[in-house]
Amino acid sequence: MSIDARWRTLLSAARTAHDRIPALGNFCPFPEDLRPAEPAPHHIPASDLLVADRGLYAGDATRPLRDAFTAVAPIAQWRETYRGTGIGEDFLSRFGCYCLIGQGGAWRSGRMAAYVVYMPPGLHYPWHHHPAEEQYLVLGGEARFMRGGEPDEVLRPGDVSFHASNQPHAMETGDHPVMAYVLWRNGFQTAPVLSGDVT
Protein backbone atom coordinates (compact mmCIF):
# COMPACT_ATOMS: atom_id res chain seq x y z
CA MET A 1 0.00 0.00 0.00
CA SER A 2 1.50 3.35 -0.96
CA ILE A 3 0.40 6.36 1.00
CA ASP A 4 0.91 9.74 -0.67
CA ALA A 5 3.90 11.69 0.68
CA ARG A 6 1.60 14.56 1.67
CA TRP A 7 -0.24 12.24 4.08
CA ARG A 8 3.07 11.06 5.54
CA THR A 9 4.25 14.64 6.08
CA LEU A 10 0.95 15.37 7.82
CA LEU A 11 1.24 12.35 10.10
CA SER A 12 4.76 13.38 11.02
CA ALA A 13 3.64 16.95 11.81
CA ALA A 14 0.84 15.58 14.01
CA ARG A 15 3.26 13.31 15.87
CA THR A 16 5.57 16.27 16.51
CA ALA A 17 2.66 18.36 17.78
CA HIS A 18 1.64 15.61 20.24
CA ASP A 19 5.22 15.45 21.49
CA ARG A 20 5.62 19.22 21.88
CA ILE A 21 2.20 20.56 22.89
CA PRO A 22 1.23 19.30 26.36
CA ALA A 23 -2.54 19.65 25.83
CA LEU A 24 -2.38 17.13 22.98
CA GLY A 25 -0.04 14.62 24.62
CA ASN A 26 -2.03 14.79 27.86
CA PHE A 27 -5.31 14.16 26.04
CA CYS A 28 -3.85 11.23 24.10
CA PRO A 29 -0.23 10.30 23.47
CA PHE A 30 0.42 9.81 19.78
CA PRO A 31 -0.85 6.28 19.04
CA GLU A 32 1.57 3.44 18.33
CA ASP A 33 -1.09 1.12 16.87
CA LEU A 34 -1.56 2.92 13.53
CA ARG A 35 -2.79 0.83 10.60
CA PRO A 36 -2.63 2.35 7.10
CA ALA A 37 -5.78 2.81 5.01
CA GLU A 38 -6.40 4.17 1.53
CA PRO A 39 -9.09 6.84 1.67
CA ALA A 40 -10.78 7.60 -1.64
CA PRO A 41 -10.57 11.38 -2.19
CA HIS A 42 -13.89 13.20 -1.89
CA HIS A 43 -13.97 16.86 -2.84
CA ILE A 44 -16.26 19.56 -1.47
CA PRO A 45 -16.10 23.35 -2.08
CA ALA A 46 -14.62 23.99 1.40
CA SER A 47 -11.43 22.25 0.24
CA ASP A 48 -10.84 24.99 -2.36
CA LEU A 49 -11.69 27.71 0.16
CA LEU A 50 -9.03 26.32 2.52
CA VAL A 51 -6.33 26.10 -0.15
CA ALA A 52 -7.01 29.71 -1.24
CA ASP A 53 -7.30 31.08 2.31
CA ARG A 54 -4.60 33.58 3.35
CA GLY A 55 -6.21 34.53 6.64
CA LEU A 56 -5.21 31.54 8.79
CA TYR A 57 -2.55 33.33 10.81
CA ALA A 58 -0.50 30.99 12.99
CA GLY A 59 2.48 30.95 15.33
CA ASP A 60 5.60 28.79 15.14
CA ALA A 61 4.04 25.99 17.21
CA THR A 62 1.03 25.42 14.96
CA ARG A 63 2.23 26.53 11.51
CA PRO A 64 3.73 23.14 10.42
CA LEU A 65 0.51 21.27 11.18
CA ARG A 66 -1.61 24.01 9.57
CA ASP A 67 0.46 23.80 6.38
CA ALA A 68 0.47 19.98 6.32
CA PHE A 69 -3.33 19.80 6.64
CA THR A 70 -3.65 22.37 3.82
CA ALA A 71 -1.30 20.37 1.57
CA VAL A 72 -3.46 17.23 1.94
CA ALA A 73 -6.72 19.10 1.18
CA PRO A 74 -6.78 18.22 -2.58
CA ILE A 75 -6.53 14.45 -1.89
CA ALA A 76 -8.52 14.22 1.36
CA GLN A 77 -11.84 12.48 1.85
CA TRP A 78 -13.86 15.52 2.96
CA ARG A 79 -16.75 14.61 5.22
CA GLU A 80 -20.39 15.61 4.84
CA THR A 81 -21.48 14.69 8.33
CA TYR A 82 -24.50 16.97 8.39
CA ARG A 83 -25.94 16.30 4.90
CA GLY A 84 -29.62 15.43 5.25
CA THR A 85 -30.06 17.24 8.58
CA GLY A 86 -31.60 20.43 7.22
CA ILE A 87 -28.49 22.43 8.16
CA GLY A 88 -28.57 24.17 4.77
CA GLU A 89 -26.48 24.25 1.61
CA ASP A 90 -24.40 27.26 2.67
CA PHE A 91 -23.03 25.39 5.68
CA LEU A 92 -22.52 22.18 3.69
CA SER A 93 -20.48 23.95 1.02
CA ARG A 94 -18.35 26.11 3.34
CA PHE A 95 -17.75 23.95 6.43
CA GLY A 96 -14.78 21.64 6.02
CA CYS A 97 -13.70 18.55 7.96
CA TYR A 98 -11.55 15.58 7.03
CA CYS A 99 -10.00 12.75 8.96
CA LEU A 100 -6.30 11.95 9.41
CA ILE A 101 -6.65 9.01 11.82
CA GLY A 102 -9.98 7.18 11.80
CA GLN A 103 -12.82 6.52 9.34
CA GLY A 104 -11.96 8.15 6.00
CA GLY A 105 -8.40 8.95 7.07
CA ALA A 106 -5.09 7.46 5.92
CA TRP A 107 -4.59 5.57 9.20
CA ARG A 108 -6.73 3.87 11.86
CA SER A 109 -6.08 3.53 15.58
CA GLY A 110 -7.91 1.93 18.47
CA ARG A 111 -6.81 4.78 20.74
CA MET A 112 -8.09 7.95 19.15
CA ALA A 113 -9.36 9.68 16.02
CA ALA A 114 -7.84 12.88 14.59
CA TYR A 115 -9.45 15.38 12.23
CA VAL A 116 -9.05 18.88 10.89
CA VAL A 117 -11.89 21.38 10.92
CA TYR A 118 -11.84 24.47 8.70
CA MET A 119 -14.34 27.33 8.64
CA PRO A 120 -14.06 30.46 6.45
CA PRO A 121 -15.07 33.86 7.88
CA GLY A 122 -18.70 34.44 8.82
CA LEU A 123 -19.85 30.87 9.43
CA HIS A 124 -21.86 29.45 12.33
CA TYR A 125 -21.42 25.78 13.30
CA PRO A 126 -24.58 25.02 15.28
CA TRP A 127 -24.74 23.24 18.65
CA HIS A 128 -23.85 19.56 18.38
CA HIS A 129 -22.69 16.73 20.63
CA HIS A 130 -21.24 13.21 20.52
CA PRO A 131 -20.25 10.48 22.99
CA ALA A 132 -16.49 10.91 22.36
CA GLU A 133 -14.46 13.24 24.53
CA GLU A 134 -12.90 15.90 22.36
CA GLN A 135 -9.90 18.23 22.36
CA TYR A 136 -9.60 21.11 19.88
CA LEU A 137 -6.31 22.87 19.21
CA VAL A 138 -6.58 26.01 17.09
CA LEU A 139 -3.95 25.84 14.32
CA GLY A 140 -4.76 29.05 12.45
CA GLY A 141 -7.07 32.05 12.56
CA GLU A 142 -9.64 32.39 15.32
CA ALA A 143 -13.22 31.53 16.28
CA ARG A 144 -15.70 31.97 19.10
CA PHE A 145 -16.12 28.67 20.94
CA MET A 146 -19.37 28.01 22.77
CA ARG A 147 -19.75 25.14 25.25
CA GLY A 148 -22.82 24.18 27.24
CA GLY A 149 -22.48 25.41 30.83
CA GLU A 150 -19.36 27.49 30.18
CA PRO A 151 -18.70 31.08 29.03
CA ASP A 152 -17.97 31.73 25.33
CA GLU A 153 -14.32 32.22 24.42
CA VAL A 154 -12.47 33.48 21.34
CA LEU A 155 -9.63 31.04 20.74
CA ARG A 156 -6.52 31.63 18.65
CA PRO A 157 -3.53 29.53 17.49
CA GLY A 158 -2.21 27.39 20.33
CA ASP A 159 -5.44 27.66 22.38
CA VAL A 160 -7.38 24.52 23.24
CA SER A 161 -10.99 23.65 24.01
CA PHE A 162 -12.05 20.44 25.79
CA HIS A 163 -15.54 19.02 25.31
CA ALA A 164 -16.76 16.31 27.69
CA SER A 165 -18.76 13.33 26.46
CA ASN A 166 -22.08 14.60 25.05
CA GLN A 167 -21.40 18.21 26.16
CA PRO A 168 -23.04 20.43 23.51
CA HIS A 169 -20.68 22.82 21.74
CA ALA A 170 -20.84 25.28 18.84
CA MET A 171 -18.43 27.54 16.96
CA GLU A 172 -18.61 30.80 15.05
CA THR A 173 -16.18 32.70 12.85
CA GLY A 174 -16.34 36.48 12.37
CA ASP A 175 -13.82 38.44 10.29
CA HIS A 176 -11.26 35.61 10.36
CA PRO A 177 -11.30 31.98 9.25
CA VAL A 178 -10.28 29.19 11.62
CA MET A 179 -8.52 25.85 11.34
CA ALA A 180 -8.39 23.43 14.27
CA TYR A 181 -6.89 20.02 14.98
CA VAL A 182 -9.54 17.85 16.60
CA LEU A 183 -8.92 14.74 18.70
CA TRP A 184 -11.48 12.20 19.86
CA ARG A 185 -11.06 9.48 22.45
CA ASN A 186 -13.52 7.02 24.03
CA GLY A 187 -16.52 6.34 21.83
CA PHE A 188 -15.14 7.73 18.61
CA GLN A 189 -17.18 5.41 16.36
CA THR A 190 -20.36 7.49 16.86
CA ALA A 191 -20.85 10.56 14.64
CA PRO A 192 -21.91 13.94 16.05
CA VAL A 193 -25.56 15.00 15.96
CA LEU A 194 -27.08 18.47 16.14
CA SER A 195 -28.25 19.37 19.65
CA GLY A 196 -30.99 21.89 18.92
CA ASP A 197 -31.11 25.11 20.93
CA VAL A 198 -28.89 25.23 24.02
CA THR A 199 -29.35 27.95 26.61
| SS3 annotation, 11-23 | HHHHHHHHHHCHH
Identify which of 12, 25, 13 has the alpha carbon closest to the alpha carbon of residue 183: 25
When the beta carbons of 51 and 191 are compared against Fe ion, the nearer one is 191
When the beta carbons of 134 and 142 are compared against Fe ion, the nearer one is 134
Could you tell me which stretch among 44-52, 63-71, 89-97, 126-134 binds Fe ion (CB under 5 A)?
A: 126-134
| CB atoms closer than 10 angstroms to residue 24 | 21
| SS3 annotation, 23-62 | HHHHHCCCCCCCEECCCCCECCHHHHHHHHCCCCCCCCCC
State the Cα–Cα distance between residues 120 and 95, nearest whole angstrom: 7
Q: Does 134 bind Fe ion (CB under 5 A)?
A: yes
Residue number, nearest CB to Fe ion: 134
CB of 8 to Fe ion, least distance (A): 27
Could you tell me which stretch among 38-46, 63-71, 128-136, 142-150 binds Fe ion (CB under 5 A)?
A: 128-136
Give the helix ranges, DSSP H, for 32-179: 45-52, 63-72, 89-94
When the beta carbons of 6 and 94 are compared against Fe ion, the nearer one is 94
CB of 6 to Fe ion, least distance (A): 25
CB of 129 to Fe ion, least distance (A): 7
Identify which of 76, 89, 58 has the alpha carbon closest to the alpha carbon of residue 156: 58
CB of 108 to Fe ion, least distance (A): 20
CB of 192 to Fe ion, least distance (A): 5
Number of residues that bind Fe ion (CB under 5 A): 1
When the beta carbons of 71 and 137 are compared against Fe ion, the nearer one is 137
Contacts with Fe ion by CB under 5 A lie at 134
